[in-house]
Amino acid sequence: MERFTVHTGTAVPLRRSNVDTDQIIPAEYLKRVTRTGFEDGLFAAWRKDPGFVLNRPEYSGASILVAGTDFGTGSSREHAVWALHDHGFRAVVSPRFGDIFRGNAGKSGLLTACVEQEVVERLWATVEAEPTTPVTVDLVARRVSAGGVAAPFEVDDYARWRLLEGLDDIGLTLRHVDQIELFEATRPSQLPRTVPVDG
């Protein structure tokens, strides 16, 4: 996983709240079996509208998404994170995120930064007034800044540590394989197994 420390790029203002993962990437894109190449599915329904913010040339190449509250609710599809990532986003800024989405994001190196609604409003105003404004998301200092806006953001400590270190989850867990074995040795024997039962 790529490390995330400080990232500077331009930002897209997405003036919508409750953007569920069905909107981020519709179900039809979930049929793929690969792990990359999902950028064409990102906001697919909305992108049919030439006026949709992501279609506007002034926001092409942006790497930070500034969205309304409750971003990434709904379906657990991790493809939503991959689509954002494959499109080139490194961070999403919003007042609140769907739980599963936030968990998924951290695993793919996409930062989800929680800020006050008022900060989102000011970021929107800033990048709408001047789309080329550089926006900096500083994970070390937990701060987001752009033009005259500078504000702290919240991020789970553990997710932050892993992003900073670029650490893979499974590798972390396998450091405790002895404890897993110990736990397995004491599990009650009547617990079910999925292998077919006879008779």
Partner 1 sequence: MGRTLAEKVWDAHVVHRAGGEPDLLYVDLHLVHEVTSPQAFEGLRLAGRRVRRPDLTLATEDHNVPTIGIDLPIADPVSRTQVETLRRNCEEFGLVLHRMGEAEQGIVHIIGPQLGLTQPGMTVVCGDSHTSTHGAFGALAFGVGTSEVEHVLATQTLPMRPFRTMAVTVDGQLRPGVTAKDVVLAMIATIGTGGGQGYVIEYRGEAIRALSMEARMTICNMSIEAGARAGMVAPDETTFAYLKDRSHAPHGSDWDVALEAWRALGTDDDAVFDAEVVLRAEQIEPFVTWGTNPGQGLPLSASVPDPASFSDEGARNAAERALEYMGLTPGTPLRDIAVDTVFLGSCTNGRIEDLRAAAEVIRGRRVADGVRMLVVPGSMQVRAQAEYEGLDELFLEAGAEWRSAGCSMCLGMNPDQLAPGERSASTSNRNFEGRQGRGGRTHLVSPLVAAATAVTGRLSAPADLPQRVGV
- Binding region for partner 1 (CB under 8 A): 17-18, 20, 22-23, 26-28, 30-35, 45, 68-70, 73-79, 81, 96, 98-100, 103-104, 107-108, 156-158, 169-170, 172-174, 176-177, 179-180, 183-184, 187-197
Helix axes 79-87, 99-107, angle to 10 degrees: 50
Give the nearest distance from C-beta 45 to partner 1 in angstroms: 6
Q: Which is nearer to partner 1, 60 or 173 (CB)?
A: 173
Q: Which is nearer to partner 1, 150 or 164 (CB)?
A: 164
Give the nearest distance from C-beta 144 to partner 1 in angstroms: 22
Name all contacts of 115-118 with Cβ < 8 Å and 24+ positions apart. Answer: 115/144, 115/151, 115/152, 115/153, 115/154, 116/151, 117/69
Give the nearest distance from C-beta 111 to partner 1 in angstroms: 16
Q: Which is nearer to partner 1, 61 or 183 (CB)?
A: 183
Q: CA-to-CA distance for 151 and 33, rounded, in angstroms?
A: 39
Q: Which is nearer to partner 1, 3 or 132 (CB)?
A: 3
> Which residues face 97 on adjacent strands?
71
> Which residues face 9 on adjacent strands?
135
The answer to whether residues 151 and 141 touch, using CB atoms and an 8 Å cutoff, is: no
The vertex-71 CA angle with 35 and 124, nearest 5°, equals 115
Give the nearest distance from C-beta 123 to partner 1 in angstroms: 17
Q: CA-to-CA distance for 58 and 139, rounded, in angstroms?
A: 26
Q: Mention every residue, 6+ apart, whose C-beta is less than 8 A from residue 110.
A: 81, 84, 85, 89, 90, 91, 92
Q: Which is nearer to partner 1, 129 or 193 (CB)?
A: 193
Give the nearest distance from C-beta 145 to partner 1 in angstroms: 26
Give the nearest distance from C-beta 81 to partner 1 in angstroms: 8
Q: Which is nearer to partner 1, 50 or 188 (CB)?
A: 188
- Please give the full DSSP string across 55-81, using - where no structure is assigned: GSGGGTT--EEEE-SSBTBS---THHH
